[in-house]
Amino acid sequence: MNIQKFLKNKIKKICIKYNIPNNFDPIIRKNTKNNEIDYQVNGIIKLKKKIPYSSYQLAINISKDMKKSNIYENILVPPQGFINITLKSNWLCEHINNMYFAKNFNISIKNPKIIIIDYSSPNIAKDMHVGHLRSTILGDVTARLMEFLGHTVIRQNHIGDWGTQFGMLITQLQLTSCHSIEKIEKIYKIANLRYQKDPVFIKKTKKNVVKLQNNNKDCLKIWKLLVSKSIEKNNIIYKKLNISLTDKDIRGESFYNFMLPKIITELKKKKIAVNYNGSIIVYLNKFKNRLGKKMGVVIQKKDGAFLYTTIDIACLKYRCNILKANRIIYYIDNRQKQHLLQVWEIAKLAQYIPNNTLLEHHTFGMILCKNKKPFKTRHGKTIKLIDLLNKSIDKAKKIIKNKHQKMTKNEIKSIAHNIGIGAIKYFDLSKNRTSDYIFDWDQILSLNGNTAPYIQYAYTRIQSIINHDNLSHEINIYPIKIFTKFERYLVLTILQFEETIFHLEKYGTPHLMCNYLYDLAGKFSKFYENCSILFAKKIHIKISRIKLSILTAKVIKKGLYILGINTVKKM
């Protein structure tokens, strides 16, 4: 049950009676401040100029109409002109019982779409560092969520496997006649240094880039080896992080090489690109350079080499024409905003994008140290992602070992893995993705507050209640009912799972799911402290409460699954 959507539609219908323009979109907010009110209708004030009476009067009129329906316990209109709604417990019960038996909690969509999610997408030949964490896990949440809803999800790991850095690596490997590429990262560093000051090296590198782009056999052979080694390394991280990307989802920059010459010809033919001093450039009206003139975007260099932009234009064309995307979501660093907007603009001018295809850049903030500087090692070096993950798992291991001295090594290993990884992911996902956040080990693994361990612990506690009882045949006889206010709060919160899911679908904001799960775990805790479950005096109460516990656990598990976090049996 998407209560917000349900209420919105009801109010919109009433508004039509009062000649309110039908594009009026009432805002339905769940109420978090006052336990006696479930939802608040906002936005009526904005209609002030469109009606011949006050917006307060309109709110009163709407509320009178609402009162004819029997789903509201209470409807109040404070002088500020919004409407406070309390739903009837019977109505909540009807829906919670439906949800209990429904497949997928009765959550579905009418129009499944083809959604492409461009995420993680590291430049390979270098180890993934902490800066890759956000793109990787945020994108993965969206992929899981869209799939849960029934959309067709196409994951695209747009790895940086092409361009100058490979020219450098190939040149270095040719010069040293070294065939072992186990230490790619080291070789890359040496090559990079030489590229900064050695003119001969630079020249050779540039030649190799063009050779590679023209499918030269020798260059391709070295390149393939470099790429496969590097992917192997990244896969270790994906596995550890419980990321749903596989090798099938890799469609790196190199893939689009075959399209590039034609893109240039097409853009020239359509008079979008021009030749300037041997380079091919697109001048964009919408972007201004430092002198306030049309900005020129180079899509092919004098030496024939294509650029990152050219590849992204081809990639967008491919995603629209071949993959038939309805919506494309990019999880890329904010610093590439301009690049992306330019790519979109050029592709639009070239008519590569159908009108109804949505393009979105889901930006994210930076991870900072306690001193608010970028998160680095004590010596100022970038932190390797693998090291960060291992450290978290080690910390979790220590905590669990201390708590459970009799646990087997394997058990500790598996639990520590799920706790350590869950904690890092959740800490990140619980922050609004557009803001920077401070990485703090003390908070990440804390059992108190809005953290993964807190939610995972709540889950294990519910499991221990459910597992204590064997009531399978009676479960179907008695429905979930509300006997106390604690059950009412819990029922309402469980029902709010669906609206949370749809917020994520629209805005890609996992922190709302974290807040939701935190709220749910808290409501369960209050219910557990104040209501007897297994020792309830009457069987129908006991069953109702056990069912409520089962449903809470199911929702927590699914919510965590969408966040890419595993539950554990013991903690």
Binding site for ligand ARG (CB under 6 A): 118, 121-123, 158, 160, 312, 315, 330, 332-333
Alpha-carbon separation of residue 114 from 27, 265, 281, 324, 343 (angstroms): 28, 29, 32, 7, 21
> Would you give the DSSP letter of residue 35?
T
User: Could you tell me how far CA 30 lies from the centroid of its own chain?
Assistant: 22
Q: The tokens 């004590």 sit on which residue?
A: 378
In the complex with ligand ARG, which residue's Cβ is closer, 332 or 383? 332
Smallest separation (angstroms) from ligand ARG to the CB of 511: 22
Smallest separation (angstroms) from ligand ARG to the CB of 493: 37
In the complex with ligand ARG, which residue's Cβ is closer, 312 or 345? 312
Number of Cα atoms under 13 Å in the Cβ half of residue 40 = 16
In the complex with ligand ARG, which residue's Cβ is closer, 106 or 123? 123
Tokens of 82: 């919004």
Smallest separation (angstroms) from ligand ARG to the CB of 460: 38
Mention every residue, 6+ apart, whose C-beta is less than 8 A from residue 294.
Answer: 283, 284, 285, 287, 288
Tokens of 102: 């429904």
Smallest separation (angstroms) from ligand ARG to the CB of 122: 5
Alpha-carbon separation of residue 30 from 65, 506, 549 (angstroms): 21, 17, 22
Smallest separation (angstroms) from ligand ARG to the CB of 301: 18
Round to whole Å and give the CA distance between 66 and 62: 6
Amino acid identity, position 559: G
Query: How many other C-beta atoms are found inside a 10 Å radius of the C-beta of residue 95?
Result: 20
Smallest separation (angstroms) from ligand ARG to the CB of 79: 51
Smallest separation (angstroms) from ligand ARG to the CB of 119: 8
Contact 282, 267 (CB under 8 A): yes
In the complex with ligand ARG, which residue's Cβ is closer, 160 or 559? 160
In the complex with ligand ARG, which residue's Cβ is closer, 213 or 566? 213
Smallest separation (angstroms) from ligand ARG to the CB of 116: 10
In the complex with ligand ARG, which residue's Cβ is closer, 312 or 487? 312
In the complex with ligand ARG, which residue's Cβ is closer, 332 or 520? 332
Which of 428, 415, 465, 423 has the alpha carbon at shortest distance from 448? Answer: 423
Smallest separation (angstroms) from ligand ARG to the CB of 543: 52
Smallest separation (angstroms) from ligand ARG to the CB of 118: 5
Mention every residue, 6+ apart, whose C-beta is less than 8 A from residue 291.
Answer: none
Number of Cα atoms under 13 Å in the Cβ half of residue 343 = 20
Round to whole Å and give the CA distance between 439 and 367: 6
Q: Which residues pair with 123 in a beta bridge?
A: 160
Smallest separation (angstroms) from ligand ARG to the CB of 376: 18
In the complex with ligand ARG, which residue's Cβ is closer, 158 or 547? 158
Kindly give the residue spans of alpha helices, DSSP state H, lying in 73-159: 89-101, 133-149
Amino acid identity, position 47: L
In the complex with ligand ARG, which residue's Cβ is closer, 319 or 417? 319
Round to whole Å and give the CA distance between 439 and 370: 7
In the complex with ligand ARG, which residue's Cβ is closer, 57 or 246? 246
In the complex with ligand ARG, which residue's Cβ is closer, 162 or 518? 162
471-481 burial: b if 16+ Cβ within 10 Å, else e:
beeeeeebebb
Q: The tokens 């994008």 sit on which residue?
A: 353
Q: Element (H or E) spanning 398, and its range?
A: helix 385-403
